[in-house]
Amino acid sequence: MIKKLSLIALSLVLTTSCVSKKIYEDLESKYANLKKENRRLSDTNQDLESALNKTENELAKLQKDYEATLAQRNKLQSDYDATKANLDNLKASYDALEKNSSAAIAENSKKNRELLAQLEAKEQALAAENARLEKLKQELEARSQRVAELENVIASKDAAMSRLKDAISKALTNFEGKGLTVEQRNGKVYVSMENKLLFESGSWAVGSQGRQAVKQLGEVLADNPDIAILIEGHTDNVPYTGNAQLSGNWDLSTKRATAIVNILRENSAINPENLTAAGRGEYAPIASNETAEGKAKNRRIEVILTPKLDEISKLLNEM
């Protein structure tokens, strides 16, 4: 579908005299890179969940092996105790028979030697099982520690994102009811701002009220340097014809996303390497374009905040 849309957009550019092919190709390349990065982040998140499930399954298997080995060790211990008791009984019988029959003494001595050999074999088997049990116990403890560390890191990331969401909501309280929402989903924080807060119709220049909202958001982001910041521009499905310099909604959404990035960059505490601008055009609606209310919701900027996963990746590599 994306390839088809790209071909359509390319045809529009080639037939429009005011937009160069190079500009469109640059925009298309940036969009492809951003989409690839977004897919990589999604894949990484899925890989982390798969790795956690795999590690928990391995932990359960180790626990099962540990319990089975413990049961085997206990059985060997029981056999050993029974054999030793039998040996003690035979020794007592030996003492009694020694007075009565040399033949009986010889037979008892033979049985005694056999039982001693059995006892030695069982002692060796018991020692081997104890060593295997200890090894499994150590491996189980190591795996449990890694799982606990991974769960703690994930919980810490989720808690940090919750605190970030609360901080953003508090910083942007003055803009509640003006087309701004803050949500936390799938380990990420989504800040959505409708265009009525930011732009005039057909424009990518940010108004004074929208600029203030973005600046206040930037103050919170400046205190969170380990967060990746993706700014996505979205439009409704009405074709854009306001400026001959732009090729359409996709171009307009990219301009608007870039305008938000430029305001955030005015805050020197925000690392530019954490910022990404993307234009989605009308292709990611959140409401129906059949109504004016739905179109208004679709015309928006979404700031998607994602925690960096370096620490989690390191723990997974150590498992």
Q: Quick check: 84 and 119 in contact, CB under 8 A?
A: yes
Q: Quick check: 160 and 187 in contact, CB under 8 A?
A: no
Q: Which residues pair with 182 in a beta bridge?
A: 191
How far is CA 280 from each of CA 11, 102, 202, rounded to the nearest angstrom? 18, 102, 16
Q: Quick check: 274 and 227 in contact, CB under 8 A?
A: yes
Amino acid at site 76? L
Q: How many CA atoms lie within 13 A of 169 on its CB side?
A: 12
Q: Which CATH number is 56-160 given?
A: 1.10.287
Three-state helix/strand/coil letters over 168-207: HHHHCHHHCCCCEEEEEECCEEEEEEEHHHHECCCCCCEC
- Read off the pTM: 0.55
- What single-letter DSSP state applies at residue 53? H
Radius of gyration of the chain (CA): 35
Q: Quick check: 249 and 269 in contact, CB under 8 A?
A: no
Amino acid at site 282? E
Write down the domain spans for the chain.
Answer: 18-51+161-318, 56-160
Q: Give the residue from 73, 51, 52, 46 showing the smallest Cα distance to 135.
A: 73
CATH of the structural domain 18-51+161-318, one choice from 3.30.1330.60, 2.60.110.10, 3.40.50.620, 3.30.450.20: 3.30.1330.60
User: Which strands make up the sheet holding 227-234, listed edge to edge?
Assistant: 180-185, 188-194, 300-307, 227-234, 275-279
3-class DSSP state of 309:
coil
Q: Give the residue from 264, 287, 288 showing the smallest Cα distance to 276.
A: 264
- What single-letter DSSP state applies at residue 231? E
pLDDT in tens, the chain (319 residues): 544 545 555 454 445 545 578 887 888 888 888 788 778 878 877 877 787 788 888 888 888 888 898 888 888 898 888 988 888 888 887 777 767 777 777 788 888 888 888 888 888 888 888 888 888 877 777 677 777 777 777 888 888 889 999 999 999 998 878 889 999 998 899 999 999 999 988 889 999 999 999 999 999 999 999 899 999 999 999 998 877 788 899 999 999 999 999 999 999 999 999 999 999 999 999 999 999 999 999 999 999 999 986 555 555 555 6
